[in-house]
Structure formats: C-alpha cells, structure tokens
Amino acid sequence: MSTSWNRRSFTLALAGALAAGVPVLPASAQTVPSGKVTVELFGLVTNGFDPVIEAFQKDYPNITVKWTKFGTDEFKQALRVGAASGKMPDLWFNWGGSLAYPYSRAGLTLDLTGRIQDLKLDQTLVPTAIVLAQDRGKLYGVPNRIVPMTIVYRKEMFEKAGVKVPNTFAELEEACAKLKAAGITPFSLGGKFSWMTMRFTDFFMEHYAGPKLHDQIKAMEASWDQDAVVKSFAKLKEWNDKGWFNQGFLNVDPATNMQLVYQGKAAMVLEVPSIEVTRLKRENIDPSTYGTFLMPTDQTPRRVSGFQQQLQVSAKAPKDVQDAALLFATYVVRPDLAAKHMASIGGPSAARGVVPGADSPLQAQYATWLQEGLQLFLPGDQALPQEMVAAYFEAQDSVILGAMTPAEAAKSVQQAITGFKARQQ
C-alpha cells in the first residue's frame, strides 16, 4: 500500500511509540544465521515491504529476502498451488481465519505458540493482534497490521441533516432516517461481490446475537437457523427497503463505493482504515472533513469486524531459513521500525504504541482504539470455511432481492453447513 505520509508522520508515530513507554526491542533475542541464507517471500504487490527489505538486508547482509509480488487472487492461487505441490515459499503474507488455517492445519505453517515470549511478541504486539492470528488457540504467524472496520462519515452531510454521531443502534437508525428525509442516502456500498454487504449482515448479527453467540454461529457451533440470524437478514432487508443503501448497490463495484459520498449524495460507508490513504488523500480530500465511529452494537464488549495481516513461516523450510524468515517477520513489527515503515506497509500497526500523526486523523483514531484494547471479530468471509462463504453470500443477496425470506435464508445456510460437516466426516 502506498501512502502520502511524510517525515513528520514518521516522527510523530515513533514519538508515539516512545511516549507510550514501548521498548524499542532489539531482534538479538533471536537466532541469527551465520551463513548466507535466501528467504523466498510471497506477498501482495500492495504489501509495501520494499523499504523494509532494503533496511533488513543492510542490517543482516548475509540474508537475502527474495520477494515475489502477486495480485490478490493470483496470490491466493499461488499458495493453493504451493500447498498442493508441497512447495510452499519460506515466508508468506496472509490474512487470518479460514484464509490461513488450511495451511496451518495441513502442517505447512510453523507453530510459534511456544515462542511468543522468546520472540517478545507479547511485549511488542497489541493483544488483539495475537488473538486474531490464532487458530484453535495456537499462533502460526507474526501479525504486522490490524484492520478494523468502522463507519466513516462525511461531516458536512451530518451537519446538513442535523445528525449527531450515534452511540446506540437506535440512534444510528434515527440518523439514517434523518439523512434519508434530507435527501441524502445514509450508506453507500458496493455489493457486487457480496463481501461489502456482508459487513452489514455481520454487524446486525453482532447486534442481535451478542459476541458469544455470534462467534458460535460463525464457528458453526450454533445453528444458523435461529432468531438472531433471521433478525439479521430481516434488518438487512428492512434497511434496503427504506432506501438506506444506495439504489442498485448489488451491481456496484466496491472500488467505486465512495463516489456518492464525494458527490454529496450519500453520508456514510462501512470501511477499513486504508480509506484515508487510498481514497481520500489520493483524491486530494482533506481527511479532517471526515469522521469515524465504531459500529453501535449495543453489546459488551463493543466489538467491530476486522482482521489482521501477518507473515507466516514454512514448517518445511530448513532451520537456518526459518530463523532468517522469523528474524524478518519480527523485524517488521519492531516498534521503532514499524513506525518508520508505516508509510509503505500501512496502518494501523500491530505493534504497541505506534500511532500516526495528526495529518492522518482517521488512521490515528483507529490506532488509538486498538491501543486501548478494542476487540474485533472476524468478518464472515474469514470466520467461515471458504466453502460456506458462498452459501452465506447467496442467502443475504437473495433476501435483498426478495428471492428468499429471512427465515428461508437462515435455513439455507444451516443446510449448507450440515452438508459440509457430513462431507468432512
């Protein structure tokens, strides 16, 4: 991810780390290979690792990091092919949840659970990052970013409709009604690939089910054919019927969901932190004219949908290559270096105490929430097995189109899960 952060941002971010009392930890607690080692790294073209690799190779001249960059879909395919052929890279970028556990559960990813203290991850990372990166209680990667989803709004639209930032679900619905009455579409979204619509369904499920039951539903430990899920699909349909989403959003590409907000026709989006850099600043829009707030779930703890990004090490790589790969993965999240390289890697950082400067107010707000312990739940397309994501998407889209009732949609997902579980036996 490229950014427009300047040197002042880096300085403030580093100052934030130091002011927070975060130790600038050396990587010397780890094993450093003595001979020449090459680490093959697979990642996304947007990962922004170039300056980190350059600095790392200067600090460790005997280690070469060979980075192969992919687009998102090509990257996922490359990992699948690697896993099928038994030729995984030494180190790879990954998200979490069901996008990562096929590799850890196949024994392809190095288990770091017993090395959390040795690697100082419990000291350098915010707790949420470690929790999100775990699979069945074990850690299989070093998180470097946390990506919470929050509601981003254009302040001018709120002022025009006389709307205040909502703190409860009811206040959010009151705000939507006022915006609609003022001729402003409350939410702009691109539902073409279903995952942006999923963010709202996930939000409604957190509201109606609460954290514990919501997690059980997404883990397929509790049935989807129940009241909380039916209410969630029903609320999605209700918001659509009230015109609180942009008309025809199921055909809108997610990449274009900000256009209505730019044009002053919509007020809010449910988005990830990169919106400040990849959308607003690239459009030469002052980010201070936008605000953000947490989705009001009316639940305790107040959680938002989100995920982490991590680096995972091959369990099959030679020991010296594993040591070199781990050295790089932890180098990325050393607080002093995480602050310095946030401009290229993006934020919020998973490292403790790293907060962007005032010229990135939205990023700074996200980072502050996370440093204060904001909890996240995985979005449906990472919480569910990939085979079940299609059933979830089909159900929610069918409800919006009127092809299924909310009750039928809940039953259809549960039927798909029952079949999936039967096939696993």
- pLDDT tens-digit series, residues 99-109: 999 999 999 99
Q: Residue 5 pLDDT > 80, yes or no? A: no
Q: Residue 96 pLDDT > 70, yes or no? A: yes
Give the pLDDT band (50/70/90) at residue 15.
Answer: very low
pLDDT at 28: 45
pLDDT at 131: 87
Give the pLDDT band (50/70/90) at residue 29.
Answer: low
Lowest mean pLDDT among 9-13, 38-42, 280-284: 9-13
- For residues 130 and 375, is the Cβ–Cβ distance under 8 A? no
Mean pLDDT of 339-346: 79
Q: Residue 151 pLDDT > 60, yes or no? A: yes
- What number of H helices and E strands is found in the chain? 18, 12
- For residues 307 and 128, is the Cβ–Cβ distance under 8 A? no
Is the pLDDT higher at 235 or at 16? 235
% of the chain residues with pLDDT over 90:
72
Strand, helix or coil at 334? coil
Residue pLDDT, tens place only, 359-396: 889 988 998 898 888 999 999 999 999 889 999 999 99
d(C-alpha 402, C-alpha 388), whole Å: 21
DSSP 63: E
Q: Residue 34 pLDDT > 80, yes or no? A: yes
pLDDT at 27: 45
pLDDT at 165: 97
Q: Residue 232 pLDDT > 50, yes or no? A: yes
Strand partners, 314: 109
Specify the residue for token string 């020449």: 36
Residue pLDDT, tens place only, 309-331: 999 999 999 999 999 999 999 99
Strand, helix or coil at 3? coil
Mean pLDDT of 218-225: 97
Q: Residue 17 pLDDT > 50, yes or no? A: no
d(C-alpha 175, C-alpha 171), whole Å: 6
d(C-alpha 369, C-alpha 307), whole Å: 14
Lowest mean pLDDT among 1-10, 87-96, 162-171, 406-415: 1-10
Is the pLDDT higher at 162 or at 348? 162
pLDDT at 318: 97
Mean pLDDT of 81-96: 94
d(C-alpha 72, C-alpha 70), whole Å: 6
Q: What is the pTM of this model?
A: 0.82
What would the DSSP string read from start to end of 96-108? Answer: SGGGTHHHHTTT-
Give the pLDDT band (50/70/90) at residue 196.
Answer: very high
pLDDT at 2: 32
Strand, helix or coil at 306? strand
Which stretches within 86-140 are classed as H helix? 101-104, 121-124, 127-133
pLDDT at 132: 86
- Return left, alpha or beta for 137; rule: phi > 0 is left, psi -120 to 50 is alpha, else beta: left
Amino acid at 106: A
pLDDT at 10: 32
Buried b (16+ CB within 10 A) or exposed e, 61-88: eebebebebbeeeebbebbeebeeeeeb
Rg, Å, the chain Cα set: 22
